Structure 1
Amino acid sequence: PSLFRLPKMPRSREGVKRSPIDPGALEVAIAEVRNGSSINKAAEAHGLSRSTLQSYVKKVLGGGTPSVNNNCAHWKVFSEEEENDLAEYLILCSNSMHGLTRKSLSEMAFEFAVANSIEIPESWEENGRAGRRWVHDFMRRHDMLSLLSPQATSLGRA
């Protein structure tokens, strides 16, 4: 065990960029493989990855039906429009001299999701607020917001 505890690395990884699969080309390539062509030749002829074609051929030969799902997006709690609405509300609050903390932001996000009947992760329901990772990612997407501790304001400034 070391004496020093190193901080965690920041979460700013780019996802793997996968090219979408053409369902028509996939069906034709599978038919060619069924008729005796090699997987490599069929994949090259139709512009598909060999491993992709191989996995779909395996599915078809196993009795399944190949379903091409080109949706590689991860699950988002709020749509872009809903997130923008939440960000606008937070800006309105900050203009009214209300400070924004991580805790208040996560609680507001939870209440916003519940009020709009949006499906939320189990951890949100258990804790009664959004998770740390969601708050971090939200703040990265909406960099015009800043988290500040609320402080007393004199009447002269208000």
Structure 2
Amino acid sequence: MRAAQEVLRNNRSKAAAAKDFVVDRMTLTRFIQKLQQSEDAISGYKAVAAAHDVFSETKEKDLAAHIISLSDMFHGLSQKCTRTLAYEFGLKNNINMPKSWSENGLAGQDWWLGFARRHQ
């Protein structure tokens, strides 16, 4: 929201910014608080997606590094093997995983697609 950015970056008063941008002052205050926490929090998508992450950022980087090291040793993994490895990685690290992972013994197809997109 431009009004919140105007308040934070140009030291403008909330009342003046709310009046100029025709925004309720409390709504502007809420957006300012979210903007101070994180730039991504305003859109909401990043915050919602982060809530559905299975692995933390560091754990996922560790898993990606392991998969790359296997690939460097000429043990490239198929999609199914990667999904199985992710499930076993989650078990060893006592990570809460979706119920479908436990039922199937491997990570979900959509998790794999997101993982592949994040670690191209």
TM-score under structure 2 normalisation? 0.62
How far has the Cα of 1:116 moved from its partner? 0.2
Q: Does 1:48 align with 2:32?
A: no
Residues 1:124 and 2:101 aligned together = yes
Aligned-residue offset at 1:47: 4.2
Q: Where does structure 1 lack aligned partners over 5 or more consecutive residues?
A: 1-18, 20-42, 50-69, 144-158
Task: For 2:94 and 2:58, locate their aligned partners in 1 and report how far apart those are by CA, in whole Å.
Answer: 15
1:109 to 86, 90, 113: 86
| TM-aligned CA deviation for residue 95 of structure 1 | 1.0
> Equivalent residues in 2 for 1:5-154 (5 A)?
44=24, 46-48=25-27, 72-73=47-48, 74-143=51-120
Aligned mates of 1:78, 1:98 — CA distance in 2: 23
The AA in structure 2 aligned to 1:133 is D
| Cα distance in structure 2, aligned partners of 1:93 and 1:109 | 14
Q: Secondary structure at the match of 2:81?
A: helix
Runs of 4 or more above 2 Å deviation: 70-74
1:80, CA displacement in angstroms?
0.6
2-side partners of 1:92 and 1:130: how far apart? 20
Q: Which runs of 5+ in 2 are unaligned?
A: 5-22, 29-40
Measured in 1, the distance between the counterparts of 2:117 and 2:27 equals 36
- What SS is found at the alignment partner of 1:48? helix
Higher Rg of the two aligned structures: 1
Q: CA deviation at 1:107?
A: 0.2
For residues 132 and 91 of structure 1, what CA distance do their matches in structure 2 show?
20
Identity of matched residues, %: 40
